[in-house]
């Protein structure tokens, strides 16, 4: 889960609930204590000193109290999960950690407390394009997808089949193998973008000249859902999202369509289905090799 440096902590929220696997727990109830830590960004509130720019602690408490005193769960794990999900619906909450204490749990021994903690973050969809035209291209691309999925805050969804493509622009060079991977992450767009060159720079991977041959190239094509609140649109040279040339590149659009037949891409102010865009592109320089996968 992505770590947020700024936090809001609500500790020791107490109420009677009726959660538990035994009939007497659901009948008689007992006290539950909840601690909540919200990962957020305090910079706007720190500058403005305005309640509208932060998270209302009372709202957080109300959400948790409604779960504690509401319909019964058998497990406090389920109660914690429900509270975490409610907190993530609040604007400005990036991550949440919820601890549910059950100090009167029916255990026939002396003990101080029983608690469970869940940590969750917002999951944003992303699209990454991969390319290689040096060395064992197929092995490189497959290893890159695997390594991307090993990152603790990244979950790979569907991966396209491989396509062989003619190089576009730059010096004369070998044909590329390309693929597209989709997935979700609790990272921010800048943090995900920073992860890609680190993977591409692993030992044994080289890039000879700008626009030239390279062992591995990873490009962040899209972050968030086009048209949705989590969509990231940035013209900052350090974070160009959506990728400004993706819609023009058959070697991106065609494998992306293979991975996500219902996918959409932003082109200017419009959001266009990939299938419609693919029909307008010249596929002659893109030769499918197959081998896609999904979760």
Tell me which residues are annotated as active site.
102
**Cα–Cα distance measured from residue 160 to residue 180, given in angstroms and rounded to the nearest whole number:** 5
Tokens 């003990």 — which residue? 111
Tokens 């957020």 — which residue? 40
Q: Do you know the residue count of the chain? A: 295
**Cα–Cα distance measured from residue 240 to residue 222, given in angstroms and rounded to the nearest whole number:** 9
Bridge-partner residues for 284, per DSSP?
A: none
Spatial CA neighbour of 83 closest among 42, 120, 41, 28: 120
**Cα–Cα distance measured from residue 243 to residue 218, given in angstroms and rounded to the nearest whole number:** 12
- Cβ–Cβ < 8 Å for 116, 76: yes
Residues whose CB falls within 8 Å of the CB of residue 201, separated by 6 or more in sequence, listed in order = none
Using DSSP's 3-state secondary structure scheme, residue 45 falls into helix
What distances in angstroms separate CA 172 from CA 63, 71, 133, 212, 284, one per listed residue? 61, 67, 12, 8, 19
Task: Tell me how many degrees the CA angle 41-42-44 measures, rounded to the nearest 5.
Answer: 100
């Amino acid at each position: 889960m992505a770590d947020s440096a700024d936090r809001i902590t609500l500790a020791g929220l107490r109420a009677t609930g009726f959660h538990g696997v035994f009939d007497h727990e659901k009948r008689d109830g007992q006290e539950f204590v909840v601690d909540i830590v919200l990962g957020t960004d305090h910079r706007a509130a720190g500058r403005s000193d305005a309640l509208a720019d932060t998270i209302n602690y009372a709202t957080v408490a109300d959400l948790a109290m409604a779960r504690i005193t509401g319909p019964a769960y058998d497990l406090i794990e389920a109660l914690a999960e429900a509270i975490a999900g409610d907190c993530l619906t609040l604007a400005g909450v990036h991550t949440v950690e919820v601890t549910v204490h059950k100090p009167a749990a029916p255990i026939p021994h002396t003990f101080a407390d029983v608690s469970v903690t869940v940590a969750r973050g917002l999951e944003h969809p992303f699209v990454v394009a991969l390319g290689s035209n040096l060395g064992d291209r197929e092995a490189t691309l497959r290893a890159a997808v695997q390594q991307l999925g090993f990152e603790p805050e990244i979950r790979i969804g569907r991966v396209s089949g491989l396509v062989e493509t003619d190089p576009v622009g730059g010096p004369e060079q070998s044909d590329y193998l390309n693929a597209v991977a989709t997935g979700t992450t609790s990272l921010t767009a800048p943090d995900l973008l920073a992860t890609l060159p680190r993977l591409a720079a692993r030992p044994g991977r080289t890039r000879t000249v700008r626009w030239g041959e390279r062992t591995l190239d990873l490009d962040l094509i899209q972050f968030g859902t086009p048209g949705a609140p989590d969509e990231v649109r940035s013209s900052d040279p350090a974070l160009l999202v959506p990728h400004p040339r993706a819609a023009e590149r058959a070697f991106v659009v065609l494998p992306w369509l293979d991975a996500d037949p219902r996918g959409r891409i932003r082109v200017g102010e419009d959001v266009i289905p990939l299938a419609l865009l693919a029909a307008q592109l010249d596929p002659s320089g893109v030769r499918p090799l197959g081998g896609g996968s999904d979760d």
